[in-house]
Structure 1
Amino acid sequence: MAQVLYITANPKSIESSIGHRVGQAFLQAYRETHANDDIEEINVYKENFPILDGDILSAWEKIRGGIPFSEMSQEEKQKINALNQFIDRVASADKYVFVSPMWNWSIPPRLKAFIDSIVVVGKTFHYTENGPVGHLVGKKAIHIQVSGGIYSQEPFMKMDHSHPYLKQVLNIIGIENVEVLYVEGHGINREGANDIISKAMTDAEKHGKNF
């Protein structure tokens, strides 16, 4: 039985979000073909996960300086414990599904905060003289990226700071098998939008069955 973490990054409802609807098509197909797997859903706009702040940065500085955990402030202790527990929860998954829109050619801010909270030295990767080495080896991920324009190919491919960034970060923490499903072009092709979304739903089902 595999542990699947389904991570969405859109504050909209399922009914008003193309990404949510495509993601749900993926999930339904996945459940039908992986009935024994355990799926946990995290919407980063609803989940109150620990984020990096002054207390956590201060605690890390103290750890690097050799200051015992017992001598940290109560806030630092609580936040470090909560962050470590959250990282362990995320790292325990075998498969990751990210569903996010492209906002201003990048990822939504809450997804960036989620990434910053799990990409932590000593927890999900460590540095060597040859560069970072990830700890989440052998896992896999898929990114369902939604954009009204077309950024998976030229001439605007260089403007995509969303999927390439997410893929690079996942590679750093050891997840090298990263698939992508682009749902794009419906914003600039209004007449063909329904066909684009319909194809995306079909593609999502195929990915879900084989993921």
Structure 2
Amino acid sequence: MAKVLYITAHPFNELVSNSMAAGKAFIETYQQQHPEDEVKHIDLFETYIPVIDKDVLTGWGKMSNGETLTDDEQMKVSRLSDILEEFLSAD
């Protein structure tokens, strides 16, 4: 069983956007041909992705030194780790 990441970065859906319609048609056909595979959709217009800012850089530094992170640092670093894990777990 494969895990496929389907990433979109368009503000409109398949009813308005030809590229979104083509992507949806591809994924539907793929799923019919490979029903055992998992398809994970990531919509970059709907997904919270933290900016790599001072909190993130400071948080990474604190983590490497075993220090405690602030709530903001922890939230951003954890979210980025979750996103990274999605990419690493895909085929």
Give the TM-score category using the shorter length: 0.7 to 0.9
Within a 5 Å distance, the mapping from 1:66-77 to structure 2 comes to: 67-70=65-68, 72-77=69-74
Larger radius of gyration: 1
Where in structure 2 are the equivalents of 1:1-150 lying within 5 Å?
A: 1-63=1-63, 67-70=65-68, 72-94=69-91
Q: Residue deviations 1:99-139, cap 9 Å, x none? A: xxxxxxxxxxxxxxxxxxxxxxxxxxxxxxxxxxxxxxxxx
Q: Deviations over 1:17-67 (max 9, x none)?
A: 11101101211211121011111111100112333222102223445xx53
CA deviations over 1:162-194 (Å, ceiling 9, x no partner): xxxxxxxxxxxxxxxxxxxxxxxxxxxxxxxxx
**Identical pairs, percent:** 32
SS of 1:69's partner is coil
Corresponding pairs, count? 91
Q: Which runs of 5+ in 2 are unaligned?
A: none
Of Structure 1 and Structure 2, which has the larger fraction of its residues in strand?
1
**Structure showing greater relative contact order (alpha-carbon pairs closer than 8 Å, 6 or more residues apart):** 2
Quick one: which amino acid aligns to residue 22 of structure 1? A
- Once superposed, what is the RMSD of the aligned Cα atoms? 1.8
TM-score (norm 1): 0.39
TM superposition shift of 1:80 = 1.3
What's the offset of the Cα at 1:15? 1.1
Provide structure 1 residue ranges, at least 5 long, that are not aligned to the other structure. Answer: 95-211
Higher helix content, 1 or 2: 2
Secondary structure of the residue aligned to 1:24 is helix
